[in-house]
Structure 1
């Protein structure tokens, strides 16, 4: 701790996720606990360029652990993708006497952080905040648990309508590159079929499965589809194809969209965010940099940003088997 910084900054970047505020709270209060001044940067990397810094204290983050979104805002910043923009950001951060940066976000945010660290040798620690759970180096990302619970609650309500009207519902959830939300919420909500980017189920197998469901006496079904499903069709094209080939089904489509990002974070996400925020500050104090904090086997770990970005989060293939068995 001999080189403990006197000032650090924190920003949230990319898509918002439940738990970001809880992580911000933990970063600020851990900084105060260890005698470090903590500055919040508003509007993500744009705020870094525009010099939108705010000195925080323990009371600045009162009553935010239960709030979704991010109170310091998030924004896309094309200027930060340029050397000139990053130089402006670096000058602001150095003129403010800030010695380390905590970035709460996803792989795009971490890419910016890694480039910034490499160009200016400036200490950066990342906290994974994304509902997709698609970052290597952590079992869970902030917002994922809340998102799947939001999806399950929505599907439960859709099933009431499906059962009442003998309908087949296609429910599209987020997950362009990873099927964690679709697979886990689909099993949790009792979906008959689940389509994810990691597995190419194929439309013919989907038809066969739905035919079996109908013959077994099911009068209604739920199919959960990740937006990045490998069939190459969007949810409306898939629904139209099924409707043409299985005319006895009354088909409906529900796209859950950004409702999956919102809402108060679950207890799991609040605790995870708190642990990650404290660990991020302690890692900075220990001189660690260019890394992302994560949790594996319930232990806090650090993963190099490059590995976190380039690595692939793995789907639990056993859950695919579980889904197939339980959908009969």
Structure 2
């Protein structure tokens, strides 16, 4: 089917055009709809970097669904396993931004096609899949859907795919206590773990960073890499024996941080698929994240093999 596969929610994002306007306030302007959903941003980036990429998801048979599918198909994502529903509308998220960098979301995902897809029954299509990526937000959106993601993870693992996991904790979606148990199950079975610092501490239950890093490899003997993302401080990549590399960020004029981490994930996995070392993969991730943050909209960054290479070369010492 594809070298890189993801299963998760697709939705449109509609954003306040001005900062510091609460979503409960009646304001003048929204911008959008923009194609979005962390899994969609991830797989769009992977496809734009030249890799065969596919998504298992769902949208409504409506204009918002068309907005998403047109974009993904345009960049080369295989959408053949995206359910198109005549019974429910495409999922949506409303977002507002604050000058201090915070964001606030209202999600309309439950009972939408975004969380209606099932684990595949036919698995021959996945013989060539090297990486299956999981987003924690997909597990939290619906526990039943999260369990379907886990089933798919097991199917692809049995076929030899490696599992990468970004816990991507969204407190707005973490309403069912069982959801965190599903998150921890994927964490214990993944090969590449890609959290932020607060997510790492939350999932490991350790307040001290060094202990949390060590515990990742104690909890999961199949863990190969911990890719610790720390915002403006860049990323650190750890193996079972300790720190492997540190890679900083590439400076850009940030327009919209939404999706930067998802683009980082995808570019890093693409780097591994290209047999690059972890430093080169992290540089690809940093470049893709920076390019995405330099544009307004979740997957509007000018990301390609050429632009990523240019960004890295521009900042080589």
Q: Same fold (TM over 0.5)?
A: no
Please state which structure has a larger fraction of its residues in helix: 1
Larger Cα Rg: Structure 1 or Structure 2? 1
Q: TM-score, normalised by structure 2?
A: 0.31
Quick one: higher RCO (CA 8 Å, sep 6+), 1 or 2? 1
Q: TM-score, normalised by structure 1?
A: 0.30
Please state which structure has a larger fraction of its residues in strand: 2
